[in-house]
Structure 1
Amino acid sequence: MKINWGTGVVLAFVGFIGFIMYFVINMSTNNKYDHDLVTEDYYKQELNLQDNINKEKNSKTLKQDIVYKKTDRGILLIFPENFDEKKITGKVFLYRPSNKQFDFETAISLSNHNLLIPETSLLGGRWNIIVDWNYNDTPYRFTKQIIY
């Protein structure tokens, strides 16, 4: 059987469209390629952007900002020691860019200016830590990207 050039062009188009459709279906149904939005309420967070910038400016005026250490028990956040730990309030949000199901938030509860995020809550990989905290009605914000 002899194939003319018109049939060859049609077969090439059909093959190319089949090839593209395979990848579209594979990427949309395979959980390995599941990508989430950075945040569900990004418009709301955009409105709070200036507040976050002001909080970060407040943090830069501190003599000592929050310091983090990776330990065998988890991530240890060390708050400034010149502050009264009983007056420090706020929350810690850990964001996992690769999977929003692992994101979690915890209230700040200090023990000797330290807050431990246990390793049982953390998987290996990249985490974004956001600490929104207040001291004497002054808001502060600490953000860090870490690999655990």
Structure 2
Amino acid sequence: MNWGHKIAIVYGLFVAFMIGMLIMSMNYDNDLVTEDYYAKELAYQDKIDAGQNLAQADFDVEVKMVDGKLKLLFDRLPAVHTVSGEVKFYKPDNEKMDETHPIIMEANSNEMEISSKGKQGRYKVQVTFELEGKSFYKEQELVL
């Protein structure tokens, strides 16, 4: 075999390798990339402000697991309160397992429970709510 054949074989192997890499990259699952990245980036300052509002507030939100359920405990809320918002289970490595639940509390209650049945792995629990016209935000990582 002369040197011309060797160059052709090396070139052919390189082309086959590049085509294989192209096919692999097209089949790659990119859940860690959000669809509307730029819009979310612009809204991120609102989330930072809401987190600072919670840090400066006279009350707190506690997120914990009790008997297989996620329990939200709103400590020291004002006596007359109407909390509206949502709780999002965000799983960074699998977008299909994300869930959003509205915050629904009984009258004169400061807690809410959400079943975590069927959820496993690491989640970021993102609590976003409004109270008396002001936005609040808390994020906590949990392993379910």
What TM-score does the superposition give when structure 1 sets the normalisation length?
0.79
Q: Deviations over 1:52-97 (max 9, x none)?
A: 2211111111344222212332222222234348522211122222
Letter in 2 for 1:142: K
| Pick aligned residue for 1:126 from 116, 122, 126 | 122
* In structure 2, distance between residues paired with 1:135 and 1:28: 45
Aligned partner of residue 92 in structure 2, secondary structure? coil
Aligned partner of residue 34 in structure 2, secondary structure? coil
Provide the residue aligned with 1:146 in structure 2: 142
Provide the residue aligned with 2:13 in structure 1: 15
* In structure 2, distance between residues paired with 1:23 and 1:48: 36
The answer on whether the counterparts of 2:86 and 2:100 sit within 8 Å (CA) in structure 1 is yes
* In structure 1, distance between residues paired with 2:44 and 2:30: 24
Letter in 1 for 2:15: I
| Pick aligned residue for 1:47 from 18, 21, 42 | 42
Higher helix share: 1
Q: Tell me, yes or no, if structure 1 residue 107 matches structure 2 residue 92.
A: no
What 5-or-longer segments of structure 1 have no aligned partner?
Answer: none
Offset of residue 123 of structure 1: 2.3
Provide the residue aligned with 1:71 in structure 2: 66
Aligned partner of residue 46 in structure 2, secondary structure? helix
Letter in 2 for 1:130: Q
Q: Deviations over 1:15-42 (max 9, x none)?
A: 132123223323433xxx4123543223
* In structure 2, distance between residues paired with 1:28 and 1:85: 54
What 5-or-longer segments of structure 2 have no aligned partner?
Answer: none
What TM-score does the superposition give when structure 2 sets the normalisation length?
0.81
Number of residue pairs matched by the alignment = 142
Letter in 1 for 2:48: I
* In structure 1, distance between residues paired with 2:9 and 2:18: 14
